[in-house]
Structure 1
Amino acid sequence: MLAAVLFLPTALFGCNGKQIDNPTINASDATTSSSLFEQATQGFSTCDMGDLFVDEHTQTPSSPYLQAIENYRCDTSDTLVTYCVDERFQGLAVTRLAVPRTTFPVFALYFTAELEMARSTLMAKLGKDFRESSASQLGAAPELVEDPDDASASVLICTKAD
C-alpha cells in the first residue's frame, strides 16, 4: 500500500480549476451524477470497484458514472485517470477520483477533510476506521491516509492485489 501512496503524488494533482472545457452542470445533471457516483462507489469499503476504470485498450470509461463525468477528467498518467469532482462519500466532500487506465489496480477518493476527521466520519458511517491492515495490503479493504500533497486533506485508497 505504501508504494501506491508514494506513487500518487507523481500521478495526481489538485484540480484547482484545471478542468478542461467543462460545461456548466445543471441541477438535473448534478443529481444524476451524484446518483451514479453513489452506485459506482458503493463497493469502495471492500475495494469492490466493479466497472470503475478506463478501458486499457480503447481508453474509454467503462462505467456510466465515468461516462457522465468525462468532461471533468483533469489528469491522465500512464496508469491512472483522475477526475475533478464535487461529490460526497458517506458525508465527506470528494474533490478527486482516481481510477486505473491499465491493469495497475489503484482507486482513490480524495477528501477535503483532514485525516482524523475523515477517519471519525467513516467510523460513524461505516463502522471502520480504514487504518492500514492485512486486508488493505491484500486489496480487500481501502486504507485512509493523509493526502501526500495536502496535510489538511485525506485519501481513501484501494490497491488491489495483482
Structure 2
Amino acid sequence: MLNIRTSQAMQRFKRAPLLIALLVLSACSQMTLEEQFTGIETCNIHNIFLDPVTNKPSGQYFIDKKLEPCRVDEAAFYCVNDKFYGLTVSQIAIPYKGPFSVHAIYLKESPVVVEAALRERFKDLKINQSEGNAPILIADPKQQGSSIFYCDEYSE
C-alpha cells in the first residue's frame, strides 16, 4: 500500500514541472498587435474601442499590456513602442465616443516603406481607394518621415 502511494506521489511530482511550464507559457503569450488588428488590411476591425462608461479598452492587446491612453478626445490614443509586421509603432488610436470610428496605427517609417512592407504581407492590399473597405496610408503631418495607417468606416 505504501509503495502505491509513493508511486502516485512520484508521478504527480514528475508532472508538476510540466504544469508550471504551461502556466508560464500561457502567461507569456500576450496578444500581439498583428493579432489584435487582424482584418485591418480590409478595414474589417470589430470590437476594439475604449468603453466610455468603464474607461476600459475592449481589445485583448490593450488588456494584456495593461495600457492606459496617453491622450483621449473622440479617440483614445495609446503611446506604445511595439512592432506591426516588422514596422515600428509609436501610437495606436481606437474609437472612444461619438461617431468617431477610426482605428489607426502610427508608424515611425515613411509611407513608402510602410506600403512596401504591408504589400509584402498582404498581396491584394488596396490602399487609399474610395472603397469603404480600403485602409488609408498617409504621411503623419505631425511627425516628418512617419506614417499613419488607418481605417475609418465613415470617411468618404
TM-score of the alignment, normalized to the shorter chain, above 0.5: yes
Within a 5 Å distance, the mapping from 1:101-140 to structure 2 comes to 101-102=96-97, 103-128=99-124, 130-135=126-131, 138=132, 140=133
Matches within 5 A, 1:78-93: 79-93=74-88
Deviation at 1:89, TM superposition (A): 1.5
Structure 1 residues 75 and 69: CA distance shift in structure 2, 3 A: farther
Tell me: CA distance 1:144–1:42, structure 2 relative to 1, closer, same or farther (3 Å): same
CA distance in 2, matches of 1:47, 1:81: 18
Q: What TM-score does the superposition give when structure 2 sets the normalisation length?
A: 0.72
Report Cα offsets for 1:116-141 as digits up to 9, x if no partner.
Answer: 11111111221256532112xx2x12
Q: 1:108 to 1:149 in 2, by over 3 A?
A: same
RMSD (Å), alpha carbons: 2.4
Q: Which protein is bigger by CA-based radius of gyration? A: 2
Q: How many residues align?
A: 130
Q: Which residue of 2 aligns with 1:149?
A: 142
CA spacing shift, 1:130–1:93, aligned 2, 3 Å:
farther
Relative distance call for 1:115 and 1:155 in structure 2 (3 A) is: same
Q: Say yes or no: does 1:58 pair with 2:54.
A: yes
Identify the residue that residue 45 of structure 2 maps to in structure 1.
49
Verify the 8 A CA contact 1:130 1:144 in the aligned structure 2.
Answer: no
Letter in 2 for 1:99: I
Give the deviation of 1:37 after TM superposition.
2.3
Instruction: Give the Cα–Cα distance (whole angstroms) in 2 for the partners of residues 71 and 98 of structure 1.
Output: 12
Structure 2: any 5+ residue segments left out of the alignment? 1-24
Normalising by structure 1, report the TM-score.
0.70
- Give 1:83's aligned amino acid: Y
- Rounded to whole Å, the distance in 2 between the matches of 1:141 and 1:62 is 23
Larger RCO of the pair (alpha carbons < 8 Å, separation 6+): 1
Identity of aligned residues (%): 26
Q: 1:148 to 1:70 in 2, by over 3 A?
A: farther
Structure 1: gaps spanning 5 or more residues: 1-27
Per-residue deviation, 1:72:
4.3
Match of residue 4 from structure 2: none
